[in-house]
Structure formats: structure tokens, C-alpha cells
Amino acid sequence: MYSTIFITVISLYILLSIVILPLQYRFLVALKQEEAKFKAKGKTQGDMYDEMNAGEQALHNNIQGSAFFFLANIMASIVYKLKHPKTSV
């Protein structure tokens, strides 16, 4: 009985993570574009976070820092790395 409940909960979590994946991916792409803009200006990633307003910081913390979105974040990172391979110079 407990194993069925456990498998059901895990399955629902995986399904939810797959549903959330496109949103997490778009957020990651937007974040990387913002980082590139700041890097082009000669600023660091820390400067980017310092210049965010409170609402943007709260959104970022909720999206990236929540354990609820952990699997979706990992999957979005993997998809991003597959679609945007680093070009070595």
C-alpha cells in the first residue's frame, strides 16, 4: 500500500515537473540573456542581481530556489545545455 502511494506521489511530481519544464526553460533563457547583456557592459553576475528590484529578486528566488521545482530546474538546465552548447575559443 505505501509503495503504491509513494510511486503515485513520485509519478505526479515527475509529471508536474514535465509540465513546468517549458516555463523553467524560458526563465533560464531570459536569465542567460540578461547575464550576457551585463557581461557585455563589463558588469558581473553579482551586479545584475544587485540591480534587480525586490519583485524580480523574489521571483528569481521562488523559481530557482524552491525544492518544489528542483527536478524541473535540472531538466531545464539539461535542455538549455543541449540546445546552447558552449563554443570554446
Is residue 81's pLDDT more than 60?
yes
Question: What is the dihedral sign for C-alpha 78, 80, 82, 84?
Answer: negative
- Count other C-beta atoms under 10 Å from residue 14's C-beta: 13
More confident residue, 41 or 10: 10
pLDDT at 87: 56
Q: How far is CA 19 from CA 1, 24, 28, 46, in A?
A: 27, 10, 16, 31
Q: What is the mean pLDDT of residues 62-78?
A: 85
Give pTM, 2 decimals: 0.77
